[in-house]
Amino acid sequence: MCMSKFGTLLDRVAVGDAPDISDIVALLDASGEEADALFARADEIRRACFGDGILLRAIVEFSSRCSRDCAYCGLRKAHRQIKRYRMSTAEILASTLEAAACGIKTVVLQSGEDDTLDPSWLADVVRAIKSGSDMAVTLSVGEKPQEAYALWRRAGADRYLLKIETTNPALYRQLHPDMDIDRRMECLRVLRDLGYQVGSGSIVGLPGQTLEDLAQDILFFKRYDFDMIGIGPFIAHPGTPLGSEGDGEIDAVLRVLATTRIAVKNAHMPATTAVGSLEEDHRLAALKAGANVLMPNFTPQPYRQAYEIYPHKRCLTEVSGACVPCMETMASAIGRCVNYGRGDSLKIKV
Ligand code: SF4
């Protein structure tokens, strides 16, 4: 395609309320100077929406227990070789305070989808964080009953992450033998109705996934107008049924990230830890292709090494606070800076 035609294509996806799937697929298929133009347009839109500040979200992986069996995930219940843990309230609060001391204003409490998790206990944790700091609290603990979501929201939780991973129903079924895509969609609807800032996201490079599937994921993100969207590569974990598959390719991840930015505009989008955990760290490339968030890990040792969703995860041995100066350096390497604001959604008033 000549570059002026490609520019028209970028314009159509950027301004269209309901872009055509064939246009999205064409962007996902870009290479060479087309790919450069795709990344440049995504970067321009990121700057127009958020400026040059990179938001930090402190992640605390408070429990590795999981009752599900997602085919790609090292925490799946059938994977018996990993150590399971759940941090105590005091440990979670200590990690949160450590992040706050670094100037970070969002903590993401993440765990496997644990059927034995007591909603009241997590509500108490959220209340304790909110009463002792001005931090925004994001929860990422999977599909739960409406009453639990409502309880946590009343306790003060601000945001909720529930990635769809893939919107292809057949692929979803294949990867999630004990889950149902309609139920997941329903959870997303409930979370939005309860007033959470809601995040979703996808995995790029799943075995059997096509460009059309990835394009449908992007149209889904646009339709649901998510506040946050996380996009990362598939990384094969040897302890899972997909252990012998190849990892997702970084170029494909960057094209999905950039096309999503162009289509959805002002959702917060991280340069995910998974992007940093391929054969080399590609988070700078993600920040230059539309991402505006980094997620320093504040899970304390020895738990951090046990939270092995995928292998070769970055920053497994660093002490918690070490990530922040590292991220300052990353930001300045590309002429940007760290934004220590709360970084609430641009889509809703809080
Ligand atoms: S992706 Fe989430 S729900 Fe699925 S096995 Fe891993 S931790 Fe559990």
346 within some domain: no
C-alpha 270 – ligand 1 centre gap (Å): 20
Cis peptide bond upstream of 302, omega within 30 = yes
With respect to residue 43, please indicate whether it lies within any of the assigned structural domains. yes
The answer to whether residue 258 is domain-embedded is yes
User: What percent of the chain is predicted at pLDDT more than 90?
Assistant: 81
Candidate from 67, 75, 86, 242 with most ligand 1 atoms within 8 A of CB, to mutate: 75
Question: For 85-94, what is the mean pLDDT?
Answer: 96
Averaged pLDDT for residues 94-104: 95
Q: How far is the CA of 72 from the centre of ligand 1 (A)?
A: 8
Domain CATH number, residue 63 = 3.20.20.70
- pLDDT greater than 70 at residue 349: no
Whether 344 is in a domain gets the answer: no
Nearest atom, ligand 1, residue 142 CA:
3
Q: Ligand 1 centre and the CA of 123: distance in Å?
A: 21
Q: What CA–CA distance (Å, rounded) separates 269 from 296?
A: 14
Residue 319 has pLDDT above 60, yes or no: yes
Residues with CB under 6 A from ligand 1: 66, 68, 70, 73, 75-76, 112-113, 142
Instruction: Please tell me the residue having the least CA distance from ligand 1 atom 7.
Output: 112
Confidence band for 290, pLDDT divided at 50, 70 and 90: very high
Token digits for 233? Answer: 């590569």
The pLDDT value given to residue 340:
95
For the chain, the average pLDDT equals 93
Structure tokens belonging to residue 23? 């246009």
Residue with tokens 């939005």: 192
pLDDT value at residue 350 = 46
Nearest ligand 1 atom to the CA of 113 is 3
- 218 assigned to some structural domain: yes
If one residue of 61, 68, 80 were mutated to test the ligand 1 pocket, choosing by the most ligand atoms within 8 A of its CB, it would be 68
Q: Which atom of ligand 1 is nearest to 176's Cα?
A: 4
Q: Is residue 169 part of a domain?
A: yes
pLDDT for residue 62 = 97
Q: Which atom of ligand 1 is nearest to the CA of 111?
A: 7
What is the CA(230)–ligand 1 centre distance, in A?
15
Q: How far is the CA of 68 from the centre of ligand 1 (A)?
A: 6
> Please, are residues 199 and 230 in contact by the beta-carbon 8 Å criterion?
yes
Looking at residues 285-300, what average pLDDT do you find? Answer: 95
345 within domain boundaries? no
Q: Rounded CA gap, 23 and 238, in Å?
A: 36
* Total number of domains constituting the chain: 1
Q: Look at residue 191 in the predicted model and tell me its pLDDT.
A: 98
pLDDT score, position 92: 97
> From ligand 1's centre to the CA of 47, what distance in Å?
33
- Please tell me the residue having the least CA distance from ligand 1 atom 4: 70
Measured between alpha carbons, how far apart are the two ends of the chain, in Å?
Answer: 44
Give residue-wise pLDDT tens across range 27-59.
Answer: 999 999 999 999 999 999 999 999 999 999 999
Q: What is the DSSP letter of 300?
A: P
Protein residue with least CA distance to atom 2, ligand 1: 112
Q: What are phi and psi of 89, to 5 degrees?
A: -55, -45
What is the Cα–Cα distance from 281 to 273, expressed in whole angstroms? Answer: 9
Range of the domain at 142: 3-339
Question: Given this model, what pLDDT does residue 98 score?
Answer: 94
Nearest-angstrom CA–CA distance, 273 and 283:
8
Q: Place 277 in a pLDDT band, splitting at 50, 70 and 90.
A: confident
Quote the ligand 1 centre to 174 CA distance (angstroms): 14
Of the pLDDT bands very low, low, confident and very high (cuts 50, 70, 90), residue 305 is: confident
Whether 254 is covered by a domain: the verdict is yes
Tell which atom from ligand 1 comes closest to the C-alpha of 165: 1
Q: Residues 142, 143, 147, 153: is their CA dihedral positive or negative? A: positive
Distance in Å, CA 76 to ligand 1 centroid: 6
35 within 8 A of 251, measured Cβ to Cβ? yes
